[in-house]
């Protein structure tokens, strides 16, 4: 098997990324400790930056299973480490850019970046299919 440490860092980074946007959403919403009784309600009622940050964190969680599955399948099928790391790092960088675009309310660029970020795990899975 290939060196697994890079893969672990990719997965860890992807898993932690939504929480960065959760922090931004709560900060922008003026989240107080008393709001912790019903945090989802507070964020669901938010507007502006807080609402967009909340949407980024939700979308980040939604894309996570595909990314993790692609990375693990690529590792299992012994895809070259260079390909796994390239697509994995590209996914993470694009997801950060996606979040910035969402926060800035740049809808068209956000959609383009979202598409590019989703192509990263899809390309890895296509490589897996090709090798199977």
Instruction: For residue range 91-131, list pLDDT tens digits in order.
Output: 999 999 999 999 999 999 999 999 999 999 999 999 999 98
Its pTM stands at: 0.92
Nearest CA to 92 out of 72, 64, 111, 112 is that of 64
Fold of 5-131: 1.20.120
Local confidence band at 40 (pLDDT 50, 70, 90 cut-offs): confident
CA distance 22 to 29: 10
Quote the pLDDT of residue 1. Answer: 46
Question: For residue 3, is it left (φ>0), alpha (ψ between -120 and 50) or beta?
Answer: beta
Quote the pLDDT of residue 12. Answer: 97
Enumerate the domain spans of the chain.
5-131
Residue 123: CB atoms within 10 Å = 17
């Amino acid at each position: 098997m290939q060196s697994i440490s890079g893969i672990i860092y990719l997965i860890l980074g992807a898993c932690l990324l939504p929480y960065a946007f959760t922090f931004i959403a709560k900060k922008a919403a003026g989240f107080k400790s008393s709001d912790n009784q019903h945090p989802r309600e507070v964020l669901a009622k938010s507007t502006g930056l807080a609402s967009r940050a909340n949407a980024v964190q939700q979308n980040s969680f939604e894309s996570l299973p595909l990314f993790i599955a692609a990375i693990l399948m690529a590792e299992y099928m012994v895809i070259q480490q260079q390909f796994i790391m390239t697509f994995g790092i590209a996914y993470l960088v694009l997801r950060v850019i996606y979040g910035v675009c969402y926060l800035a309310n740049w809808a068209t660029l956000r959609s383009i970046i979202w598409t590019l970020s989703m192509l990263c795990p899809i390309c890895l899975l296509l490589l897996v299919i090709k090798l199977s």
